[in-house]
Amino acid sequence: MADRVYPAAKPNPPPGAATAANGAGTGNGNAAASFPAPKSQMYQRPIYRPQAPAKRRRGRSCRCSFCCCFCWALLAIILLAFVAAVAGGAFYLLYRPQRPSFTVSSVRLASLNLTSSPTAPLLTDAITLTVTARNPNKKMVYLYDDLTVSVATAANAVSLGSTTVPGFTHAAGNTTVVTATVSSNAVTVDPSGAGSDIKRSGAFSVVVDADTSAGVRVGGLKTKKIGIQVHCEGIKVTPPPPAPAPAPKRVKGKNSTVALAPAPAPAADAATTRTAATVSTAAHSCKVRVRVKIWKWTF
């Protein structure tokens, strides 16, 4: 069978060609109707979306915070120091505070006995001293706890004994006399230091220390007690003269003759005991030191 031949399909004319053909066919000179014009597109402004701020570095932020804290702390310290300075100045102008004064009025070495052992000498002594305390303030009262009084040699600090004196209230403008007796009984001392410091004849220098705690009362206000030390140096004491030797005993002999027996010799390892009192009446001013305790250390 012969194949059928189909006519080729005509292509659709473009919209413009059809319009032109219609216009030509109308023949009335009016323009043919055209397709509706496309609507103009409206301009839309893009939506503004704020972006998140960039993250700062952590190190820089920490430094800024530290600087701010440091500045505020420094300002607070300066303000506190200024307020304290103003308060201290006002207190000084109102009360004129002064430190108390201490003076060693007299020292008496009542007895002294130092054995001459080369290895472990024993010391026995008794020292009586009088201390005069003066409060020069007109409105301030000092409150003292018990005082620990100790005496030692000035050269090698060989201890001569210590004692405790009851505390007292030191009224404004008042003078108080304190008497203490320091002694030691057969105490082993350093042979080298004791041998060079403690002289059996002639004066030697001693140091007197008194440790206590003191507070201040102004009107109805009391301060916290702090440690103080009264240090007195340059004090010379003279050992008492040795006790007189016992008189020899008379012994009757034959034919009614009288003989003198020799006195007993002193022990070879002991010094002669001196008991006569020797008083030093020269007044010696003392220094008052404030002792601050920080944890285990006292300054």
In the prediction, which pLDDT does 161 show? 92
Residue 210 has pLDDT above 70, yes or no: yes
* Dihedral (CA of 72, 73, 76, 82) sign: negative
Residue 215 has pLDDT above 60, yes or no: yes
In the prediction, which pLDDT does 29 show? 47
In the prediction, which pLDDT does 270 show? 42
**Best CA proximity match to 229, nearest among 293, 169, 158:** 293
Range of weakest confidence among 111-120, 221-230, 289-298: 289-298
DSSP string for residues in 52-117:
PPPPPPHHHHHHHHHHHHHHHHHHHHHHHHHHHHHHHHHHHHHH-----EEEEEEEEEEEEEE---
In the prediction, which pLDDT does 58 show? 54
pLDDT digits (tens, 9 = 90+) for 67-89: 888 888 899 999 999 998 888 88
255 SS3 class: helix
Range of weakest confidence among 11-20, 101-110, 131-140: 11-20
Averaged over 248-271, what is the pLDDT? 51
Kindly state the percentage of the chain with pLDDT values over 90.
29
pLDDT digits (tens, 9 = 90+) for 216-238: 998 888 889 999 999 999 898 88
Domains of the chain, residue spans: 101-241+277-291
**pLDDT bucket at 25, cuts 50 / 70 / 90:** very low
Report DSSP state, residue 22.
H
Could you tell me the two tokens for 282? 């020269």
Range of weakest confidence among 24-38, 43-57, 111-125: 24-38
Please give the residue that has the higher pLDDT: either 264 or 208. 208
Collect all residues with Cβ–Cβ distance below 8 Å to 109 and sequence separation of at least 6. Answer: 125, 126, 127, 237, 238, 239, 240, 277, 278
In the prediction, which pLDDT does 296 show? 59
Amino acid at residue number 46: P
Rounded distance between C-alpha atoms, residue 295 and residue 274, angstroms: 45
Specify burial of residue 208 (Cβ count, 10 A radius: 0-12, 13-18, 19+): buried
List the beta bridge partners of residue 132.
Answer: 103, 177
Residue 282 has pLDDT above 60, yes or no: yes
**pLDDT bucket at 150, cuts 50 / 70 / 90:** very high
Residue 34 has pLDDT above 80, yes or no: no
List the beta bridge partners of residue 95.
Answer: none
Place of tokens 């300054």: 299
**Could you count the other beta carbons within 10 Å of the beta carbon of residue 288?**
15
DSSP string for residues in 186-245:
EEE--HHHHHHHS-SSS-EEEEEEEEEEEEEEETTEEPPPEEEEEEEEEEEE-PPPBPPP
Residue 53 has pLDDT above 70, yes or no: no
In the prediction, which pLDDT does 20 show? 43
Rounded distance between C-alpha atoms, residue 159 and residue 241, angstroms: 22
pLDDT digits (tens, 9 = 90+) for 173-207: 999 999 999 999 988 888 888 888 887 677 889 99
Kind and range of the H or E run holding 294 = strand 293-294
Report DSSP state, residue 286.
-
In the prediction, which pLDDT does 262 show? 54
In the prediction, which pLDDT does 94 show? 80
Rg (CA), the chain: 55
| 101-241+277-291: CATH class | mainly beta
Kindly state the percentage of the chain with pLDDT values over 70.
63
In the prediction, which pLDDT does 252 show? 56
Place of tokens 């005993």: 249
Residue 248 has pLDDT above 90, yes or no: no
* Dihedral (CA of 291, 294, 295, 299) sign: negative
In the prediction, which pLDDT does 15 show? 52
